[in-house]
């Protein structure tokens, strides 16, 4: 009976096997994702864009609190106060360019208008004035983050809706 006892694997061998399993899993998921892509060649939504918008939609009450605070601030001009009132009315109103009854997409136009209004307020009233009323992390109001939210909303908004909101904002 000359059976050899199985040799114990080293830590490096175990790590290499785990990495190979993970690589195989990732490769299988990527292949499945590519095969489920629509044949029309239409781009699929980026999960990061959707995640960005869902986070912003969850923070809508905080953004409304910000807008209500800015309505009474003396550093905000009358025109910008009217813009704030209009943004609040649009967000709260169930009558939108994209109805709020449509899950997720119904809030995307609200987020787009909201972020455009906040970008304008940051430029006109100053970042300090805006962050004074923001209950969350001030980094959420950074130019980079606001641009990221705009980009994500742009991906999901129909072209005409985006044009109408942008045109409306441009009039102010």
Residue 18, domain member (yes or no) = no
How far apart CA 76 and CA 126 sit, in angstroms, is 9
Identify the domain containing residue 118 by its residue range: 47-171
pLDDT tens sequence across 17-62: 777 666 655 445 444 444 444 444 445 555 688 888 888 889 989 9
Mean pLDDT is lowest, of 1-5, 31-35, 47-51, 89-93, for 31-35
Question: What pLDDT is recorded for position 126?
Answer: 92
Closest CA to 82 of 168, 15, 3: 168
Is the model's pLDDT at 122 over the cut of 60?
A: yes
Q: Which residue has the tokens 């441009």?
A: 170
Residue among 54, 69, 56, 164 at smallest CA distance from 114: 56
**Nearest alpha-carbon partner for 80 in 90, 71, 91, 88:** 71
């Amino acid at each position: 009976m000359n059976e050899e006892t199985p040799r114990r694997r080293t830590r490096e061998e175990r790590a290499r096997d785990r990495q190979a399993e993970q690589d195989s899993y990732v490769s299988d998921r990527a292949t499945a994702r590519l095969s489920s892509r629509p044949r029309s060649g239409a781009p699929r939504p980026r999960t990061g864009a959707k995640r960005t918008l869902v986070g912003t939609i969850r923070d809508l009450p905080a953004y409304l609190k910000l807008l209500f605070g800015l309505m009474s601030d003396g550093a905000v001009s009358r025109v910008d106060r009217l813009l704030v009132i209009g943004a609040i009315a649009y967000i709260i109103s169930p009558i939108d360019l994209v109805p709020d009854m449509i899950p997720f997409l119904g809030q995307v136009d609200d987020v787009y208008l909201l972020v455009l209004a906040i970008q304008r307020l940051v430029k006109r009233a100053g970042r300090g004035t805006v962050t004074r009323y923001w209950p969350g992390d001030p980094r959420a109001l950074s130019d980079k983050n606001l641009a990221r939210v705009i980009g994500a909303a742009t991906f999901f908004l129909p072209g005409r809706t985006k044009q109408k909101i942008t045109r409306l904002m441009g009039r102010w």
